[in-house]
């Protein structure tokens, strides 16, 4: 017999899992993760702007 978890059971299950894992992760790991996420976002943005610029230049060059 398959029992379906209701909304409150799901929230308490995932909330408890999340909070128990947060306790075991150190502050240094959070800081490292935040810094790496920021660096990754900045690099991704810069690369996308550079690629957009080059593709626009190529598009204009080949239209002439």
Domain-located, residue 57 = yes
Domain-located, residue 58 = yes
Domain-located, residue 40 = yes
Name the pTM for this structure: 0.57
pLDDT of residue 18: 83
Residues spanned by the domain of 40: 26-64
Instruction: Please report, in tens digits, the pLDDT of each residue of the chain (64 residues total).
Output: 446 667 788 888 888 888 887 778 777 888 999 999 999 999 999 999 999 999 998 887 777 6
pLDDT of residue 25: 79
Domain-located, residue 6 = no
Domain-located, residue 21 = no
Q: At 21, give phi and psi (nearest 5°).
A: -75, -30
Count of structural domains within the chain: 1
Q: At 26, give phi and psi (nearest 5°).
A: -75, 165
Exposed, middle or buried, 16 (CB in 10 Å: 0-12/13-18/19+)?
Answer: exposed
Token pair of 25 as six digits: 């992760």
Domain-located, residue 46 = yes
């Amino acid at each position: 017999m398959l029992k379906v978890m209701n909304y409150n059971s799901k929230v308490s299950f995932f909330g408890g899992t999340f909070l128990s894992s947060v306790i075991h992760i150190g502050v240094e790991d959070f800081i490292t993760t935040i810094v790496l996420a920021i660096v990754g976002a900045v690099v991704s943005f810069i690369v996308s702007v550079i690629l957009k610029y080059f593709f626009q230049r190529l598009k204009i060059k080949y239209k002439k």
